[in-house]
Amino acid sequence: MKSYLKGVIVDWAGTIVDYGSRAPVEAFRAAFAHEGVEISIAEARAPMGLAKRDHIRAVIEMARVTTAWRERHGGKAPGEDEIERIYQRFLPLQLPVLTQLSTVIPGALDAFAAFRGRGLKIGSTTGYVRELMDVLLPHAEKQGLYVDSMVCPSDVAVGRPAPYMCFLNAMKLNVFPMWELVKIGDTPADVEEGRNAGMWTIGVTRQGNEVGLSPEEQAALPPPELHARMTFARERLSRADYLVESIAETPAVLDEIAARLAGGERPPIK
């Protein structure tokens, strides 16, 4: 029987490792604090999924942050030199917590086994630069998590939401057309990356950046507050073709996508 689905391209933090995508947040906040500018958790999380230098640029261009920067730095507006300085401070702040928080998310190993059982190749994209992934990748492999391809923003001209990391994965995996691949991620940047590449997209809500909490923190929340966070996550990821709470739910969704492909459907344009 012809296989109508050939592979998946997964995100890393918040999708297959680091439940709640917590590792980058405090490193971003500490890097800005060193410049005398405090940013909130929500501000640190808002551009998550972008390449880390682009992420810093997006935060620093927020109106409140720009105003705070001007007040702290004698009216001077932040520019590319300041972005680069924060980025260079961010990297050594991120490294110590990277492996500490990047445990494989429950259900990811079973999901990967299900992907491979369906004959799918597994690619991956990330907002982490190569220096960080050189630490994270072997840490994940020690936990039994292996991908067939991994592409960083530094491997292409432009990171998310541009589609180039997905295209490079497809080349490395020798998989085409793009509509026979599925992008799985936990941020709007992941969703737009997949859409721009002409792929099906699955957004991950509860375990990812948009809820932004560990399982223990979620369990401690009053139900109305958790419901509000889940609603926010669904709204943020609403342009995905499918939404799931966890990577563990994705194999069943892939079967639905494969059936739609067999019926001649292509990823819908929204």
Quick: pLDDT tens for 241-268. 999 999 999 999 999 999 999 999 999 8
Q: Which residues are CB-neighbours of 81 under 8 A, at least 6 positions away?
A: none
Catalytic residue among 11, 18, 54, 190: 11
d(CA 241, CA 245): 14
This prediction's pTM: 0.92
Q: Are 206 and 107 in contact (CB under 8 A)?
A: no
Banded pLDDT at 78 (limits 50, 70, 90): confident
52 part of the active site:
yes
Flag whether pLDDT at 23 surpasses 90: no
pLDDT of residue 230: 96
Banded pLDDT at 49 (limits 50, 70, 90): confident
Q: What is the mean pLDDT of residues 82-97?
A: 89
pLDDT of residue 51: 85
Strand partners, 48: 50
Catalytic residue among 6, 18, 52, 121: 52
Flag whether pLDDT at 24 surpasses 90: no
Banded pLDDT at 26 (limits 50, 70, 90): confident
Flag whether pLDDT at 213 surpasses 60: yes
Delineate the domains of the chain, giving CATH numbers in brackets.
Answer: 7-22+103-262 (3.40.50.1000), 23-101 (1.10.150.240)
Flag whether pLDDT at 174 surpasses 90: yes
Flag whether pLDDT at 8 surpasses 80: yes
Which of residues 22 and 230 earns the better pLDDT score? 230
Q: What is the mean pLDDT of residues 172-190?
A: 96
Q: What does the mean pLDDT of the chain come to? A: 93
pLDDT of residue 200: 98
Closest CA to 247 of 145, 95, 129: 145
Banded pLDDT at 2 (limits 50, 70, 90): low
Tokens of 219: 């369990």
Percent of the chain with pLDDT over 70: 99
pLDDT of residue 100: 82
Q: What is the mean pLDDT of residues 169-188?
A: 97
Flag whether pLDDT at 132 surpasses 70: yes
Can you say whether residue 20 is alpha, beta or left, with left for phi > 0 and alpha for psi between -120 and 50 degrees? left
Flag whether pLDDT at 1 surpasses 70: no
